Structure 1
Amino acid sequence: MSALRDLQKSLLICATLLSVAFALGGCSSQLADMTPADAQAHPREPGSYLPVHDLPPDRDQAVISPEQRAKIEAELAAARDRQAVAAKEGK
């Protein structure tokens, strides 16, 4: 009886692994087929960074004033410093 259960368990494991392999094999479609036609091309050089400070031409939102930007940056720096102190105290 024990040998039969071991055989059934082995067959169940093999069937599960086989079905997972088939399921994952079905997910390997070409990504190029799924990209829209108007998508931007990727940069040729692998180490280049995207321009994060360049704004799109059709931006409808108002630009943050320099005073507000300085205030936000100061708040973020203060939060970073508080987290660094809390991390040192926690260790």
Structure 2
Amino acid sequence: MLALWDLQKTLPIRGALLIAALAVGGCSSQLADMTPTDAQAHPREPGTYLPVHDLPPDRDQAVITPEQRAKIEAELAAARDRQAVAGKDAK
């Protein structure tokens, strides 16, 4: 009697799981079926590698002048000092 009672309690759960599995399985489709008909085929061979040994042309002039570099470094040092003081005041 006990086994029959357990089967009657779990039967609706098993049925619901079976129906859910079938529903989810019916929603799946092949990715190949989803590609458009006018899509280009991928080449079988990947082709050639990019030329990694080619270097960019050398620059004859500096990107920034030494005066500009010194000014930027001074501004960064001043900002660092201000943040250090603000950090000490916050503690």
TM score, norm. by length of structure 2: 0.34
Larger Rg: 2
